Amino acid sequence: MKADSEIHLLLNRRVVGIEMEDTCGHVTVRSGGETERLRAPVVVNCLWENRRAFDVAVGIDGVPDYTTRFKYGVVLEADPYIKALDSITIIQGPFGNFVVDPNRQGAYCSWYPASLKGTVTDDAIPDAWDAACGQDAPPDVAEEVGKANLAAFRKILPGLPDVSILRAKPGLIPAEGATDIDNETSAFHRRSDAALLSKGRYVSINTGKYTSAPRNAMRLQRHLCQAGYL
């Protein structure tokens, strides 16, 4: 991206407003105490959280409800037992996974019920969640969440040792739907089916699952070409 002169990266900015006109769109961003208004012929909303709020603000009809979850990921000491596990995903009622890199001293794990600490079903992200994201959890929180994860995983992996908890980090997971993963009809299970929404020169892409990125890029290109914007 840096090598392409047509792509300009504007990092460490928060989108605070989007206004659309017939021939262009205006995106207001804030960084520190500075506010900047950017003009573009087409605005594509690929936000991870708060995407729905801007879809509603620009006047898209039928924007689906979605839930934002506040969930921790835990990094454990990767002892020989954990390294022998390799990377695994467990779908046995609740959901859990280990991500093991043989070249690192730590392994990532997350058992869904032990790591999930809250959900909201509106567009307002609690300030405490926003402040917590982007940094490691305090040591006491990391220890609590990590121990809960180990206890849950031992019900399936009884040989899992009592390894050190290196750190825990929270993040937000937005997805369409208002019921949790224990409901087999929940829209959480169909994140790859999320629709591309548009109104004029504004397009909204639901990231849904990171693995959907190539498909989403193709859908976006097709839409912009059919609309005559490319």
Residue 194, pLDDT score? 66
Q: Are residues 100 and 148 in the same domain?
A: yes
Residue 182 lies in a domain: no
Q: Residue 29: give its domain's CATH number.
A: 3.50.50.60
Q: Are residues 142 and 201 in the same domain?
A: no
Q: Are residues 105 and 166 in the same domain?
A: yes
Q: Are residues 52 and 33 in the same domain?
A: yes
pLDDT band at residue 158 under the 50/70/90 scheme: very high
Element at 113 (helix H, strand E) = helix 112-115
Q: Residue 205: name the closest of 189, 190, 188, 223 by CA.
A: 223
Q: Are residues 76 and 60 in the same domain?
A: no
Q: Say which range, 32-36, 92-96, 97-101, 182-186, has the weakest mean pLDDT.
A: 182-186
Residue 138 lies in a domain: yes
Residue 119 lies in a domain: yes
The residues facing 15 across adjacent strands are 29
With tokens 């693995």, the residue in question is 211
Output the pTM of the full model: 0.78
- How far is 145 from 91, CA to CA, in rounded Å? 20
pLDDT tens track for 19-58: 999 999 999 999 988 999 999 999 999 988 788 889 999 9
Q: Are residues 102 and 164 in the same domain?
A: yes
pLDDT band at residue 193 under the 50/70/90 scheme: low
SS3 state at 51 = helix
Q: Are residues 168 and 81 in the same domain?
A: yes
Q: Please, what is the average pLDDT of the chain?
A: 89
Number of domains making up the chain: 2
Q: What's the domain range around 36?
A: 14-64+195-226
In degrees and rounded to multiples of 5, residue 57 shows phi and psi of -65, -35
Residue 24 lies in a domain: yes
SS3 state at 35 = strand
Q: Are residues 99 and 141 in the same domain?
A: yes
Radius of gyration of the chain (CA): 20
Residue 219 lies in a domain: yes
Helices within the chain (DSSP H only): 51-57, 80-85, 112-115, 127-132, 139-154, 213-226
